[in-house]
Amino acid sequence: MATTDPRRFYPDITDGRVIEPINPWVVRLPLLFIAGILLVFFAMVAATAGYQWMYQDKVIPGVSTVYGVDMTGMTEDEVRAELEQRFTYAQDATFVFRYGDQLWEFTAADLGVSFDIDATVEAVFNAGRDGNAIHNLVDQWTIWRNGYAVSPIITYNQSVAERILRGIAAESIDQPVQDATITINNTRAEASPSQIGREVDVPATLDALRQQILALAPRAEINLYVNETYPAIADATEAARIVNTILDPRGITFYIPSELGIAGGPWTATPESLVSMVIIERVENGDGTARYEVSVTDEPAREFLESIAPELTLEAVNARFVFNDDTRQLEVIDPGRNGRALDIEATLTTFEQAIYSTTDRTIPLVFREVLPDINQFMTAEELGIRELIISQSTSFRGSTAARRNNVQVAASRFHGLVIPPHSEFSFNQWLGDVSTESGFEEGLIIYGNQTITGVGGGVCQVSTTVFQAAFWAGFPILERWPHGYRVSYYEQDGTGPGMDATVYSPIVDFRFLNDTDYHLLIETYTDLNNYTVTFKFYSTSTGRRVEKDGPYVRNVQPPPPPVYRATPGVTGTVQVDYAVSGAEVYVYRDVYDAQGNLIIEDEEFYSNYIPWPAQFQVPPGDPRAQ
């Protein structure tokens, strides 16, 4: 008989042990729990699906606006209608801009504020719906429990407000900064006032406006931000006053003090002429401010004074002397005189004071005394005049009475004259005026290619004599011109041709240089009995020695036929000049110093004398007249 396994009938018995039977609820309870959870889950899913289906086109529960209006269950049209009714901020809110007492009022809409209803409706419907499913469920649960207020979405176009502010600034506030200025009209100065510069700070004002709009302020007053710039020159009245003082209607008058005994003037500068002298300069103070400084240029006044100075000038005259050969001292023959000159700089100093005066508008001309270079108190030793160094005479025998007089008058102009060391002697300078008023007489003179009656005939006798004196004294000759034709007066006593010197002021002059370290005294003597004129030079001898070579006469040409000229008032035939041959004449000079050194070598004096016809004056109608 087979053995029976007890575990078959007693499953709780194992390995000889007895096992109690399993309670069936132990298995049933977990299954029931799981089934419950699944049941709840499916219920929730069903409820959620129903919830989503119920509010798929409506606002979910808990959503409201900032005004406290519950939007739950509203459709899009209902939300739009509610928002349009509730939100009128752009039209109702007002903003007032203020600057001082000026006010400008605008609505929010005027300033570019508008309600974006589409965006706001979208925000309302997107509440709890803008994420994934789980996220949305969480948001919807939170909104249902706590509520959710949707703010209206507004837009702000700042460029609109900016345009309005810039318009206000341009029309009513902004202005450029202007310094005070000075203008001169009809010799009167006027000061224009300064102006503070103003400019609205548009960005700063817009920022203040933006803060109020973001806060949805129903009404706000906003002070305009304005930047001010102060002028550098706030006032010009003082400068204008100074200008008007300068341009006083009385002008400025220059006069010569009566005690001076000088004729001339007065001279008045009118305000019209003073205008050009006014200088108005802007000067920086270094602290951002500036001022006007008023001054005058003295150039017009200087030019005026320089123009009248010559007629008011009195030249100083050197003393003149003769040398006493016995005492070897100087004897005064003319004490000379002090001169005067208009002191322009000193007068201008007074002018610069008077032109700012409101009382005395007159200016005395200031003169300074001019002392002569050589005064009467100088001694021979002081001047270095110790001895006679040369004496030279020429003859004017055969001259007319008028010519003799002219020689004497011309020679006297040089008597007692002192030439300083290293200074130039000019014949024309010391000869002065040649006229009948100054003592000269009419006589025959060479003019062009004819001999005519004129004033000063015989002056060249004197210039020829001083030329020969300077020649033999060894002084450098700076300018010498020969006559147009050979003149017999200058070749008497065996002098020969080529040693004459003509002058014709101011074109033709005779000049030499006193190149020594001593003064040179010139004495002149005219002997009307012996018909000679003499020049004596006194100084300190330097031991110079002069050698003459020539004259060399070349290219001799015979004189042309006689010339007859019809002359009113002449009866008969009067010879006024004599025929002379033409020639080229060369004279040379060597000058040696005291040691025998050659200091002037082969100095050439060239004379080109033209052939000269005999000339006659005849009555008008004479058949010989040319």
135 part of a folded domain: no
- Whether 457 and 577 have beta carbons less than 8 Å apart is answered as no
Same-domain pairing of 363 and 392 = no
Distances 13 to 6, 18, 20, 22, 275 between C-alpha atoms, Å: 8, 4, 8, 13, 145
Q: Distance between CA 61 and CA 144 in Å, rounded?
A: 6
420 part of a folded domain: yes
The residue from 378, 402, 418 where one domain ends is: 378
517 part of a folded domain: yes
Average pLDDT across each block of 10 residues of the chain; the chain has 626 residues. List them in order: 48 54 73 78 69 76 74 81 79 93 94 85 79 77 81 87 95 95 93 95 95 90 95 95 94 94 92 94 95 94 95 95 96 96 95 92 95 95 96 92 93 97 96 89 65 75 96 97 87 86 91 97 96 97 95 93 88 85 94 94 93 89 82
114 part of a folded domain: no
Same-domain pairing of 494 and 387 = yes
Q: How many CB atoms lie within 10 A of CB 274?
A: 20
Same-domain pairing of 388 and 412 = yes
Q: Distance between CA 184 and CA 192 in Å, rounded?
A: 11
Same-domain pairing of 536 and 611 = yes
Same-domain pairing of 456 and 351 = no
The order of strands in the sheet holding 563-566 is 563-566, 615-618, 574-577
Beta bridge partner(s), residue 609: 583
Q: How many CB atoms lie within 10 A of CB 331?
A: 12
- Nearest residue to 475 via CA among 522, 425, 438, 440: 425
Same-domain pairing of 429 and 302 = no
Same-domain pairing of 386 and 334 = no
Per DSSP, the residues of 171-218 read III-B--B--EEEEETTEEEEEPPB-EEEE-HHHHHHHHHHHHHTT-S
- For position 122, what pLDDT does the model report? 79
Dihedrals phi, psi of 72, to nearest 5 degrees: -55, 130
37 part of a folded domain: yes
Asked if omega into 506 is within 30° of 0 (cis), the reply is: yes
- For position 321, what pLDDT does the model report? 97
20 part of a folded domain: yes
Structure tokens at 611: 């052939």
Listed in sequence order, the residues at least 6 apart from 457 whose beta carbon sits closer than 8 Å to its beta carbon are 400, 402, 403, 406, 442, 443, 444, 445
Same-domain pairing of 417 and 556 = yes
Provide the residue range defining the domain that includes 30: 1-50
Same-domain pairing of 442 and 347 = no
- For position 160, what pLDDT does the model report? 95
Same-domain pairing of 389 and 533 = yes
* pTM summary value: 0.62
- Whether 384 and 517 have beta carbons less than 8 Å apart is answered as yes
Q: Distance between CA 548 and CA 481 in Å, rounded?
A: 18
**What torsion do the CA atoms of 212, 217, 219, 225 make, to the nearest 10 degrees?**
-10
Q: Which amino acid is at 491?
A: E
- For position 586, what pLDDT does the model report? 97
- For position 45, what pLDDT does the model report? 66
- Whether 467 and 607 have beta carbons less than 8 Å apart is answered as no
3-state secondary structure of 24: coil
153 part of a folded domain: no
Q: Distance between CA 587 and CA 259 in Å, rounded?
A: 59
- For position 448, what pLDDT does the model report? 55
Which CATH number fits the domain that encloses residue 334?
Answer: 3.10.20
Asked if omega into 266 is within 30° of 0 (cis), the reply is: yes
The residue from 31, 50, 69 where one domain ends is: 50
- For position 9, what pLDDT does the model report? 45
- For position 10, what pLDDT does the model report? 46
108 part of a folded domain: no
**What torsion do the CA atoms of 594, 596, 598, 604 make, to the nearest 10 degrees?**
80
Same-domain pairing of 433 and 317 = no
Structural domain total, the chain: 3
Per DSSP, the residues of 589-625 read EEEE-TTS-EEEEEEEEEEEEPPB--EEEE-TT-TT-
Same-domain pairing of 340 and 456 = no
The residue from 326, 348, 378 where one domain ends is: 378
Q: Distance between CA 265 and CA 411 in Å, rounded?
A: 38
